[in-house]
Amino acid sequence: MSTAFIWHNGRIKPWAEATVHVGAHALHYGSSVFEGERVYATPRGPAYFRLAEHTRRLFESASVYEIEIGYSEAEINAACKELIRANRLDSAYVRPIVFRGADGLGVLPKPGSPVEVAIMALEWGAYLGDAREHGADVCVSSWHRPAPNTFPSWAKAGGNYLSSQLIAFEARRGGYAEGIALGCNGLLSEGAGENLFLVKRGRLLTPPTSAGILAGITRDSVITLAEAMGLRVEERDLPREALYSADEVFMTGTAAEITPVRSVDRKPVGEGRPGPITRALQQAFFGLFDGSTADRWGWLDVVEPSSAEAAASEGRDASAPARAPRTERAAAMEASA
């Protein structure tokens, strides 16, 4: 999985040239924060889904771990768009990541230790394969999410996903597509990489943000779409057995989008296939990208063509994809290299 270009420390460079030292603090201690974003092909061209909100959360996550990103939110947004143009992608999964670089092996980073920033963009389809259409078979994991006073679950940090790996490994060994974790209180939390929704008698139920979950942007989008459709949404504590008596269950996330669940622990959910409310929400969500759902919330951020590409389309002289604007920090890093 690769594309021609990657954005790394202030400039577009060939994928193979985006390298990191083995002494990087993030490699040893998990000191990275990141985002997962989607670009969709729309009638107006490739468009990011809620780019500003993803970038804001990236900065909030970095703040929790006292990581100084070194770029403004506007610069990161511009770089995300520039990368899509450079790789000439119509749709993509995009991964901005901020991590502590190499500067000693102590757990506590030194003051002023280097911070690196990279953005990757890949062509990536449905996260759980055909489960988006037919439903996923999932299990409740024996691994629980950590308590709120251990790891901050609202921060999308690399180290948090060691827990997710254990959940996903266990699910795969059992022949399931995904695993669902309970929180430290024994109540429902979330999937290995997705938020969780249940439908019961026409109501939409989801664990609260206090349940050790990542407060997902797709989760928030689904709540907004559901309320716009007149559905009642309740964020509340839910026991494990709620999964077995639900009419419908689905999972959400940037990668997973809206993925129905057809069975939990080999017990069928509802009629064992995606239900009507799940289907209606999928239709409303994906309709944002083909224009059948009005973007009332300004969630789509169209990637406009560069001036060079615009000139080429008009038959004027055009150069190769331009580099992303160099910041003072990027220039200083190159000078010291």
What do you get for the CA distance between the two ends of the chain, in Å?
28
**Cα separation of 28 and 127, whole Å?**
28
Residue 173 Cα to chain centre, angstroms? 25
Residue 13: active-site member: no
Rg of the chain over Cα atoms, rounded to whole angstroms, equals 21
**Cα separation of 312 and 322, whole Å?**
13
The residues near 328 (Cβ < 8 Å, ≥ 6 apart) are: none
Catalytic annotation, pick one of 13, 81, 156, 267: 156
The structure tokens listed for 78 are 């511009």
Under DSSP, the state recorded for 160 is: G
**Cα separation of 270 and 317, whole Å?**
60
Task: Report helix, strand or coil for 149.
Answer: coil
**Cα separation of 219 and 253, whole Å?**
7
Check if the beta carbon of residue 38 is closer than 8 Å to that of residue 48: yes
Helix (H), strand (E) at residue 283: helix 276-290
Q: Catalytic amino acids?
A: 156
